[in-house]
């Protein structure tokens, strides 16, 4: 019974947050400028203690031709929403399991990277922010492990870059520099997917990385001392391509394994559940780590119909 109430609250929050000027001004036809003036509110993320809700809101500037996200906060019991990180762009906030920090994505120092914000739950304020990753291929899609010691994230890398984490990082950085310096800008593609909207894949693959996070609040170690590791090396996308929605990867309850979706054969990992004829995505492991829940697309009388199914894992899957 609590979920409908929470969704209703978020809906009312969206109405008041989106349209503060609409009620104060005289009625007029809704224009393109009105639409661009609205903030794009992202997914609400409740804190572990159920006292706060983080969400991102995107500001659109027609003059600068930019869209800039910022992290906002609002008390779950009700109250005024406010921007919580004002001196840099910030998107996709995700709470640490202890609620004392949250991770977010920012391009403050060039390129998308994962940052950590120290949070005071008593006042609802950020007491400091620290950059976690400095990976050349950029980072996105951060996800905390259950113990708060590790963060998984995704990055588009050149699959031919192998070796140690440091060697992979240097290889990717060198290839990106070569592409930037090359006078040849033409691209040749022999397989799908080669473009999404205006972003070309250009020989890269999405891979899942992990990086250690200090257990206490305060500055984190630089990437040199705590380098990110590629968990899914190879010439395939992990997770598989998605147009949005929930993450296509998840930690096991003990934080020792990670479940994800990917096309093709299993490679060095173990195949928990083949897709067969249905498209399966958004895997989630139950607390006992023996049940795997996932969303599955079916051929039903209505379009884009999906159901959430739960299946026991094979004995040798995890």
- Tell me: the pLDDT tens digits for 42-70? 999 999 999 999 999 999 999 999 999 99
φ, ψ dihedrals at 97, nearest 5°: -55, -30
Q: Are residues 35 and 114 in the same domain?
A: yes
Q: Which one has a higher pLDDT value, 205 or 307? A: 205
Q: Are residues 206 and 288 in the same domain?
A: no
Which range of residues forms the domain containing residue 94? Answer: 2-178+190-231
Do the domain assignments include residue 131?
Answer: yes
We report the CATH number of the domain holding residue 36 as 2.120.10
Q: Are residues 72 and 124 in the same domain?
A: yes
Do the domain assignments include residue 160?
Answer: yes
Do the domain assignments include residue 184?
Answer: no
Number of domains in the chain: 2
The residue among 198, 231, 264 that closes a domain is: 231
Do the domain assignments include residue 257?
Answer: yes
Do the domain assignments include residue 44?
Answer: yes
Q: Are residues 13 and 158 in the same domain?
A: yes
Q: Are residues 165 and 271 in the same domain?
A: no
Q: Are residues 55 and 122 in the same domain?
A: yes
**pLDDT computed for residue 314 by the predictor:** 52
Q: Are residues 127 and 274 in the same domain?
A: no
Do the domain assignments include residue 183?
Answer: no
pLDDT in tens, 89-100: 999 999 999 999
Q: Are residues 36 and 132 in the same domain?
A: yes
**Could you tell me the pTM of the whole model?**
0.77
Do the domain assignments include residue 242?
Answer: no
Q: Which one has a higher pLDDT value, 118 or 254? A: 118
The dihedral sign for the CA sequence 156, 157, 160, 162: negative
Q: Are residues 218 and 103 in the same domain?
A: yes
**pLDDT computed for residue 4 by the predictor:** 44
Q: Are residues 201 and 268 in the same domain?
A: no
Q: Are residues 280 and 223 in the same domain?
A: no
Do the domain assignments include residue 9?
Answer: yes
Q: Are residues 218 and 101 in the same domain?
A: yes
């Amino acid at each position: 019974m609590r979920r409908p109430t929470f969704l209703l609250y978020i809906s009312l929050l969206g109405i008041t947050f989106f349209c503060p000027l609409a009620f104060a001004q005289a009625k007029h036809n809704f224009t393109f400028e009105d639409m661009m003036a609205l903030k794009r509110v992202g997914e609400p993320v409740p804190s572990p203690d159920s006292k706060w809700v983080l969400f991102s809101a995107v500001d659109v500037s027609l003059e600068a031709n930019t869209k800039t996200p910022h992290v906002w906060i609002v008390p779950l019991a009700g109250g005024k929403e406010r921007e919580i990180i004002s001196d840099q762009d910030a998107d996709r906030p995700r709470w640490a399991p202890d609620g004392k920090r949250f991770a977010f994505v920012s391009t403050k120092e060039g390129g998308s990277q994962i940052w950590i914000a120290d949070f005071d739950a008593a006042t609802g304020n950020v007491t400091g922010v620290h950059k976690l990753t400095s990976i050349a291929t950029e980072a996105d899609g951060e996800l905390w492990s259950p113990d708060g010691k590790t963060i998984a994230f995704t990055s588009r890398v050149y699959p031919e870059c192998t070796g140690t984490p440091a060697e992979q990082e240097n290889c990717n950085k060198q290839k990106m520099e070569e592409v930037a310096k090359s006078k040849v800008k033409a691209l040749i593609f022999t397989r799908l997917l080669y473009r999404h909207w205006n972003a070309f894949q250009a020989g890269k693959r999405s891979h899942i990385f992990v990086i250690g996070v200090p257990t206490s609040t305060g500055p984190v170690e630089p990437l040199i001392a705590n380098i990110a590791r590629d968990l899914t090396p190879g010439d395939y996308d992990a997770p598989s391509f998605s147009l949005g929605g929930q993450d296509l990867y998840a930690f096991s309850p003990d934080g020792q394994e990670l479940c994800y979706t990917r096309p093709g054969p299993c490679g060095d990992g173990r195949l928990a559940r083949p897709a067969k004829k249905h498209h399966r995505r958004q895997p989630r492991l139950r607390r006992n780590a023996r049940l795997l829940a996932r969303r599955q697309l079916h051929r039903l009388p209505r379009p884009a119909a999906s159901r959430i199914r739960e299946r026991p894992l094979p004995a040798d899957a995890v």
